[in-house]
């Protein structure tokens, strides 16, 4: 069982997965910063200073007026935090868009590499065919065998 585990860990796919998770975590930090530091202020400016992350309404219980979302959650009241959901949805859309652009860019680079390779293959001179080589050998042998 230990040997199987070593084999499993040594596979390239596991290493690739680990690298993907690490990069994904770093990418999540970048996207969160993009949303919190850049997009939220722009949305707030466009909507007159409204910050969506603290938008909620109370389903049951009591919450002090104008309490933040964190304070409302801490009060023990049942709240419907639609602002947090909207921001999570916005985060998802931004990540999905960024991944789409990344995949599109990689696909474009791959297609350019394939096109260049095909162009090089088309330009590369081809040697004589097998039949032509055999005919040349035959002719050389015939010249050697014939008396001059």
- Where are the chain's structural domains? 1-48, 51-143
CB 54 within 8 A of CB 36: no
| Whole-number pLDDT of residue 148 | 58
Distance separating alpha carbons of residues 94 and 105, to the nearest angstrom: 16
Q: Name the token pair of 30.
A: 């970048």
| Residues 117-131 as b or e (16 or more Cβ within 10 Å = b) | eeeeeeeeeeeeeee
DSSP per residue over 60-128, as a string?
Answer: ES---TT--HHHHHHTT-EEE-HHHHHHHHHHHHHHHHHHHHHHHHHHHHHHHHHHHHHHHHHHSPP--
Q: What is the mean pLDDT of residues 4-30?
A: 81
69 versus 40: the higher-pLDDT residue is 69
- Over residues 56-115, the pLDDT tens digits come to 888 888 888 888 888 888 888 898 999 889 888 887 887 788 778 878 988 898 898 888
User: How far is C-alpha 63 from the geometric centre of its chain's CA atoms?
Assistant: 42
| Whole-number pLDDT of residue 1 | 87
CB 58 within 8 A of CB 72: yes
pLDDT-derived band of residue 124, with 50, 70 and 90 as boundaries? low
User: What does the mean pLDDT of the chain come to?
Assistant: 83
Q: Name the token pair of 132.
A: 């032509």
């Amino acid at each position: 069982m230990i040997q199987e585990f070593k084999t499993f860990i040594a596979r390239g796919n596991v290493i690739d997965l680990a690298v993907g998770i690490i990069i994904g975590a770093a990418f999540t930090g970048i996207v969160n910063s993009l949303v919190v530091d850049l997009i939220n202020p722009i949305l707030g400016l466009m909507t007159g200073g409204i910050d969506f992350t603290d938008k909620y309404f109370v389903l049951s219980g009591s919450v002090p007026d104008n309490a933040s979302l964190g304070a409302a959650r801490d009060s023990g009241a049942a709240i419907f935090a639609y602002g947090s959901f909207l921001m999570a949805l916005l985060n998802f859309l931004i990540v999905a868009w960024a991944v789409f652009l990344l995949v599109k860019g990689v696909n474009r680079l791959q297609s350019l590499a394939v096109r260049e390779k095909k162009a090089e293959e088309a330009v590369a001179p081809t040697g004589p065919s097998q039949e032509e080589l055999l005919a040349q050998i035959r002719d050389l042998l015939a010249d050697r065998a014939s008396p001059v």
